Amino acid sequence: MLRFDHVSMSYGSHQVLNDLSFEIQDGQLAVLIGPSGCGKTTTLKMINRLIEPDTGKIYISGEDITKQDKVKLRRRIGYVIQQIGLFPNMTVEQNISVVPKLLKYSKEDCTEIVHNLLDMVNMPYEQYAKKYPGEMSGGQQQRIGVLRALAASPPIVLMDEPFGALDPMTRRTLQQEIRSLQQKLGKTIVFVTHDMEEALDLGDVIIFMNRGTIEQMAPPEEMLAHPASGLIQDFLGKQMSGQNEHLTATDFMRTDIVSVPQNRGVHECTSKMKRRGIDTLIVVDETAKYLGTVSIADIRMAGSTVSTIEPLIKSCHTTVAVDDDAKSCFETLISKGGNYLVVLNHDGTAAGIITKTSMASAMAEQLWG
């Protein structure tokens, strides 16, 4: 059990934490959330004594942490930071074994720990143990960051916005991994974030802080049902909206299209396609209005019977307007069976195309942020 007992702290005249008292039960994942400057990171760093309170006490399993040696205390508390902080001069294996080595575990034990932990996140030892952090993606690095924190089986793990710097997809996967690790290992985790979705997703209990005090401490369901203040409601609201936002074709289209005037020669068009690595061009008239498309297949078929692309233009492609509703565009795309829709501006010029891929990636972004 982790307990804060009337903890206060200030930097100069600025009160960072104001008489903070709360308890986190063993095996819980507690999320500290709130606007920037609310004191959430300060609170976290007090647990491993990177920051000391001015007044008040912090207890771990009933023991006052100031009574313990700082360095020894930290070896029993896992610590994951947003910047990842893997030591670039050490391999993955060396990074994970940092704390076990400090605790003088045997070499065999260290190797075994590294094996087991890498297995747990599906990163084979043979493939990853000898890599350097610089040779891996951000997501892989932070996985190792989490493993380093877990290596000496600390009962408590502190995570300071661990996934804040990762892209949405990777963040999602790592959140899931944390949740399953938490269920498997039953750690007490204190997790700082400013992302309410993450808090709702991961937290057994959410501690909402503002200006150095706790505004509400409650399980996610309760916080959703009865937010204690307008500010919390705002935070939750930001989370809830976004899904209902009115989306139009513009949000889904690719704008990297290539257009050519109708009177251009066949050769010019084929070489243009070759250069850009595409198989279809958008054909426009003198005033840049959309006429149709021309594809490499049609040009090949026509062979040398034509010199300009004009006779090959197809205008049968389905077009939609930029402000058409996204849902209807989606339905059109699926029902017509074509590969793409052409999106037109109001003046008849081509704005872009919607492909299944552009649609899928835009939807993923909407769903997972």
Partner 1 sequence: MATLLDRIPLLQSILIHLGYVISSVPLGFFMGVFLGILLSRIPKLSKLILPLLSIFNTIPGIVFIGILFLYTGMRPITVIIALSVYATFPVLKNTYAGLMDVDRQYIDAAKGCGMSTVQRLTQVELPLAMPTIIGGLRLSTVYTVSWAVLAAMIGQGGLGDYVYRGVSSNNNTLILTGAIPAAILAYALGSLVDWLQKLAVPRGLRKGGGNH
Contact residues: partner 1, CB under 8 A: 48, 50, 71-77, 79, 81, 83-91, 98-99, 102, 132-135, 148, 158
Our CB check for partner 1 shows the closer of 16 and 253 to be 16
Q: How far is the CB of 149 from partner 1 (least distance, A)?
A: 8
Q: Where are the alpha helices (H) located in 13-152, listed in sequence order? A: 40-47, 70-75, 92-96, 98-102, 107-120, 125-128, 138-150
Our CB check for partner 1 shows the closer of 105 and 308 to be 105
Q: How far is the CB of 12 from partner 1 (least distance, A)?
A: 18
| CA dist., res. 352 & res. 19, Å (int) | 57
| CA dist., res. 198 & res. 223, Å (int) | 14
| CA dist., res. 22 & res. 62, Å (int) | 13
Q: How far is the CB of 99 from partner 1 (least distance, A)?
A: 5
Of 20, 47, 24, give the one whose Cα is nearest residue 34.
20
Q: How far is the CB of 59 from partner 1 (least distance, A)?
A: 19
Q: How far is the CB of 205 from partner 1 (least distance, A)?
A: 23
Our CB check for partner 1 shows the closer of 127 and 271 to be 127
| CA dist., res. 47 & res. 159, Å (int) | 11
| CA dist., res. 169 & res. 178, Å (int) | 14
Our CB check for partner 1 shows the closer of 159 and 269 to be 159
Our CB check for partner 1 shows the closer of 88 and 230 to be 88
Q: Which contiguous run of DSSP H or E holds residue 352?
A: strand 350-355
Q: How far is the CB of 140 from partner 1 (least distance, A)?
A: 12
Burial track 148-184 (b if 16+ CB lie within 10 A, e otherwise): bbbbbebbbbbbbbbbbebeeebbbebbeebeebbee
Our CB check for partner 1 shows the closer of 67 and 246 to be 67
